[in-house]
Amino acid sequence: MLFLDEPSIGVDPIAARELRRTVADLALAGTTVLLTTHYMAEAEELCDRIAVIADGTIRALGTAEELKILAQGRRVLDIEATGVGERELTEVRNVAGVHSVIAEERGAGVLLRVQSNADSDVQSAVLAALASSRLGRVESRAPSLEDAYVAIVSQHQKAMATA
């Protein structure tokens, strides 16, 4: 049995790739590997089963595909922008059908990940809320494992806030 805690943190991309290949080879040879990681792409690539943990408790457990099902009924809108402040983020969060908004700094700009109901067309309202910002790429897509993680954890946080 092999325990790995965040093995690719701080590792350059070439070494991380080699590490993932070594771990995959060990698993194929029959070694049980327990891996903790915040990198969902790494978890999806290496793990047969994934546990989502929030506040020290397992909130979901399954394959990557099973966890993605927990985010079904959602769409993700990725928006690259500059000039996005708290006022704009609040307006986006208040758009009907929006579940969560995550802003990741990217150099001088920001990548907004907006999760919404799959049957709600929030793109026009979200872009209107960002009218004072400079927009770049806008992409609507199905949820990834990372998006499923956000959905699972945010559902838990909302439940805790209303309790």
Q: What is the pLDDT of residues 87-144, one digit of tens each?
A: 999 999 999 999 889 899 988 899 999 988 888 889 999 999 999 999 999 999 888 8
Query: For residue 159, what are the contacts with CB-CB under 8 A and spacing of at least 6?
Result: none
CB 45 within 8 A of CB 145: no
73-142: CATH superfamily: BMC (bacterial microcompartment) domain (3.30.70.1710)
CB 11 within 8 A of CB 19: yes
Using alpha carbons, list the distances in angstroms from residue 116 to 54, 67, 69, 71: 22, 17, 15, 10
Domain-wise residue ranges, the chain: 2-48, 73-142
CA dihedral 95, 111, 7, 33 (to 10 degrees): 40
> pLDDT per residue over 21-74, tens digit each?
999 999 999 999 999 998 999 999 999 999 999 889 999 999 998 998 877 778
Burial class (CB in 10 A: 0-12, 13-18, 19+), 23: buried
